[in-house]
Structure formats: C-alpha cells, structure tokens
Chains A and B, each alone.
Chain A
Amino acid sequence: MTSETYDVTIVGAGPSGLSAASVLSEYPLKILLIDENGQTGGQLWRKPVFKPIKKPKIRDRLKAQITVGTTNGYDGQNLRVITPACVLGVFPENYLLLSTADAGVKEIKSHKIIFSTGAREKVRPFKGWTLPGVMTTGAAQILLKTYGILPAPEMLLAGGGPLLYLFASQALNAQGKVMAVLDRTAMLSVFKSIGVIAQQLPKLGQGLVAMGRLLKERVPLKYQTQVIEAKGKNTLEEIIAAKIASDGTILKGSHKRYRTQKLICGNGFIPNIELPQLAGCDLVYDTDKGGWIVNVDTSMETSVRGIFATGEITGIGGGDKAFIEGKLAALSILNQFGRLKTKRNSRQQAKLLKKRLHYLNFGKFLNRQWATSPREWDQIHDDTIICRCEDITLGTIRSWIKKGFNVVHDLKKATRCGMGICQGRTCGPMIYDIIGSYNGSDKHFPKHLTVRTPVKPVFLGDLIK
C-alpha cells in the first residue's frame, strides 16, 4: 500500500470542494482533491456525457469562478485530482484510507482535511415506494442532464418543491410529458417562498421561468397532496394520492388515482456526515439544517483540530452556501498556515459570513417544509418498507419500539434496520424521525448511528492488495 502526504486534502469535489481548491491552489501548498464519482462537480455540477446540439443559455456564475482544472491528474504545481476515489476510513492525526480505481488502496496523511461530502436525497416513504418505476428527483435529473435520457415519455412528479418544479420544466423542455406535479406543501408556501427566495434574485428568476413553463403547458399543479400508495405487479402501474392537512392528517375521501408507470419523488436532502463522524467530529441534530450536521465554528473548523467541514454537511443550504463555505475554510487554512494576514482574513470572513446567513435562512425555510410531522408518520401504513436493504417494514419497527426499543442503537440491533449494504443511508434519517415521533421529541437522541470503516462497501480483495 502506498503512502502519500499532503498539506490539504479535500474530500468531495462538488461546488464546495472546488471552491476551496480554487482558493488554496493559488498558494504553494500540496493539495489533494478527491471525489467518489468518476468526475468532479458533485451532484450540482455534473457534466453531460453527451454534447447538447443546442448550447445552454444560462451561465453558472459560481462555476465561472472555479479556477482549477477538473480532470483526473495534476493541475499545475500544487493540486492533484483523483477521481474516482473513495475514503474508506479516517484515523487519528489525519490519516485517510483511500480506495482508488487504478492505484489500489492508498494511505494519505494530510495536515488539514476539508470534508465537503454533500448531501443525498430524502424521500417520504409510502406503501409500494420500492417498486421499479419509482425514483428520486435526483435520479431523474441525473438521467436527463448527465446522460440525456428522459426517464419516461410521461411522468408523475410528487413531493416537496422546488427541485420538483425545476425538473418538471427540464422534462418539458426535453419533449417529455408531465402528468401532474403533486406538491405536499400548501400553495401559500409557494408565495412565502418567493419572499425568502427573493433574497437571491437568480434563484427567483429561475423559479419563475420554471413555473411559467408549467403553466404554459397546463400541467396540473396540486397542493397539499401526498402520494400514499404505489401499486403494481412487478413495476409501477398506479399511484394513489390524497390531500394532507398542515398538521399531517390525511383527509378522508380525498384519494385520487393516477395511472402512471413513472413516479419521480423527492422531499429534501440529508447531509452526508458519515466521514466527519468517523473522524471524531462533533455532530448536532438540527431539523432546521436538515437533521444530523457537523458542528463548525465561523472558520468552518470542526471539533477536531485541522479538520474542516463545508457545504451541505454543515446545514442544507444549496450550492451558494456550499461555495461560500469552501472559500471560508480555505481562508481559515491559509491563515493557520501563516499565509494570510489575520486582519485581511477577518474582513473577508465577515463579508462571506453575512452572505452565508442568507443561505442558511433559505435552507431553514426549505427544511421546515420538508419535515414529516409525528401525526403524518402515524398515518403511514404498517406495510411500508423502511429499511429497503433488509426489507423491514414500519409495522415491524413500531412493534419493537412498543416493546421498549425506542433508542436508535437498540432498534437497529433488534430489527437489523441500518445493517444492510447502504449502511443506513436511506433508512437512517427515517428511523430518527420515527423514534422522535414516538418519544414526542427529537431532543432525546443520543448520538447518530455509529459509523465504522469501511464507510462504503469494499471488496476484501481490494483491501488486501
């Protein structure tokens, strides 16, 4: 196994990681930038594998500020990019175990580490959500934007906006049909959101354009409507949706059937905090920030000296927040290395922190919309699968909670929920919600489920090599 040393290692090459790399690479430091995907950009800046015949008109003003090359290899004197590479484990004094595609497993020693591991999509589960034909908004967007493939000729969209509306308009632009958009939030929220989003004009413009397209095509937009069942033999054939009150009560007699073979659904995002947790960084459970997040100070440093966290993992807040935090972490690191005068750093830091607050507020608004109340959880059917990897239903989980297993770690041991191959990434956030509902509060959570090396499944043969 080879061993390498770097001044800074950036784990995750999305907007946050790339932003940090752009700032740091201006200085004579040895920097490593890695991502588990085969290319940089994270989820937000995925590159299409095809060449669009019509060039996209919108210029991403954040992406335009990235100064580093984004291909695998060496960028100038200072920066090395390795993709795909997966961090399997983090060990004391900033050692990383890195699994690479062509160079096997490497041991990386880094003086400073920035975790910018982003987020994954959250779904509000319902009976039958595991049927092929039901996929997340992220999955649909990746198929369309990265691979130029429309998931189906006609799609039903459901969940909590705004990504839903964005994808709907993207699908229409690609000659797809949108059967309807079933938004679980109230129409009033859409107007409220305009007030919050108005602080970020580019987003407001984007939102209005998307809405305009949907209205032009007369796509039915339903509010306070939640999918409660997906039916089909081996793949999706029909969806049942019902009206949902603001406290989460499903209104009787409001059920409606939609004959569709493709449901695109999404209800928020979950921070990927597994690696910082493994590294010993303190986490905090904050529903306004998306659940379990990494606790950082204004310099983006975690509770572990020399380890920084940026982007969605410090609070769901979108690409702009991620970009700013990448910059903040880079400036803090430069300051710590003595490369930046403290006074100049403080001035820049103050400006960026002010902007960051705007995006945190935006995130707070959205995270509240994406919350599932205890009342709503009460009405989700017993047959609903919660742990997809191990096929464990909500009914099973409820019965164990009633037996007294109402602490996350105990529930995991009793049910096997969270022990499957996805390592609790899909069911984990739901379990906290369910237990929180049962206990009547989320303030009694002990810790996040324990994370151990390897953080992602790896073949024994690769480790031994």
Chain B
Amino acid sequence: MRNQKKPNAIRIKSAERGKQIIFYVNGRRTKAYLGETIHAALLAAGYWQMRKSKNQQPRGVFCGMGVCYECQVTVNNSIPQQACMTFVQEGMEVEIDDL
C-alpha cells in the first residue's frame, strides 16, 4: 500500500511540462506528464516500492538508467518493463508489487 506519510518526489515548479495525462497504478488514477518515464511518475506520486526480489525483499529505483533492472513493473497486463526506460502513456495500466 502507498505509505501516506512518505514525502513524494517533487516536480519542480520552474518548468513547462508536456500534456498532463492520467495513467493507472494498481488501478488507481495517477497524474503524470507526457515525456516522463514510469519511474519518474511513480516517484512523484509517492510510490517507492516497485517490486519484490527473489527472496521477497522490497525493491525500487536504484540506478535510474536501465542497468540494474530493479525497477521492473508490469505494463498493460503484458510484459515486465524497466520503469526508468519506459515512457508513460495516457491510460497506461501499471502494476507494482508493493504489498
């Protein structure tokens, strides 16, 4: 479950962003901007744990550049993708394993 007390990553104010879109995180409506990657949008929405490791340990964003494969999330009920290398789209369904 999303930890309500955790500080989110913050979108800086002095920026003109792409079109605002809605995507879904475990079914919940979540705001993002076109041009952002899934990992950026998830962190800004307060989701830090993205999956569990082989021994069920919590994992999230580590390298942020496609090397470590820790940020894998399920996209559109299909294949797992690296959240930091995949861009958000309108209506995208992202499943994270954070229970």
Q: Which residues of A are interface residues toward B (Cβ below 8 A)?
A: 36-38, 43, 48-54, 120-121, 130-136, 138-140, 142-144, 147-154, 174-176, 234-235, 261, 388-391, 420-422, 425-426, 457, 459
Contact = CB atoms under 8 A, between A and B. Distances in A.
B63 A234 contact: no
A54 B12 CA distance: 12
A389 to B, nearest CB: 7
Contact of A139 (B49, B55, B62, B79): B62
Contacts of A49: 17-18, 35-36
B14 A54 contact: yes
25 contacts: A36-B66, A37-B85, A49-B36, A50-B16, A50-B18, A52-B15, A52-B16, A120-B65, A132-B48, A135-B62, A139-B61, A139-B62, A148-B15, A148-B17, A149-B36, A153-B7, A234-B3, A235-B3, A235-B58, A389-B54, A420-B69, A422-B69, A425-B67, A426-B67, A457-B69
A382 to B, nearest CB: 15
Given A132-B50, A235-B3, A53 B16 contact: yes
B64 A136 contact: yes
B11 A148 contact: yes
A391 B16 contact: no
Q: How large is the interface on B (under 10, 10 to 19, 20 to 34, 35 or more residues)?
A: 35 or more
Nearest to A270: B67
Contact of A43 (B13, B33, B49, B65): B65
B65 A139 contact: yes
A147 B84 CA distance: 11
Interface string B64-81: 111111100000000100
Given A49-B36, A235-B3, A422-B69, A132 B58 contact: yes
B53 interface: yes
A449 B95 CA distance: 34
Nearest to A147: B40
Nearest to B70: A388
A50 B55 contact: no
A391 B53 contact: yes
B44 interface: yes
A130 B61 CA distance: 9
B59 interface: yes
Contacts, number: 144
B43 interface: yes
Given A50-B35, A149-B44, A234-B49, A135 B61 contact: yes
B52 to A, nearest CB: 10
B57 interface: yes
B96 to A, nearest CB: 11
Nearest to A84: B85
Given A130-B70, A135-B63, 19 more contacts: A52-B15, A53-B14, A121-B65, A130-B62, A132-B59, A138-B63, A139-B62, A143-B43, A148-B12, A149-B12, A149-B36, A152-B7, A175-B12, A234-B3, A235-B3, A235-B48, A422-B68, A426-B67, A457-B69
Contacts of B40: 143, 147, 149
Contacts of A38: 87
Contacts of B44: 149
B11 A149 contact: yes
A151 B48 contact: no
Given A138-B65, A147-B37, A391 B55 contact: yes
B33 to A, nearest CB: 8
B7 A154 contact: yes
Contact of B49 (A132, A151, A388, A420): A132
A106 to B, nearest CB: 20
A457 B68 CA distance: 12
**Most chain B C-beta atoms within 10 Å of own C-beta, residue among A50, A54, A425:** A50
B17 A50 contact: yes
Contacts of A43: 65
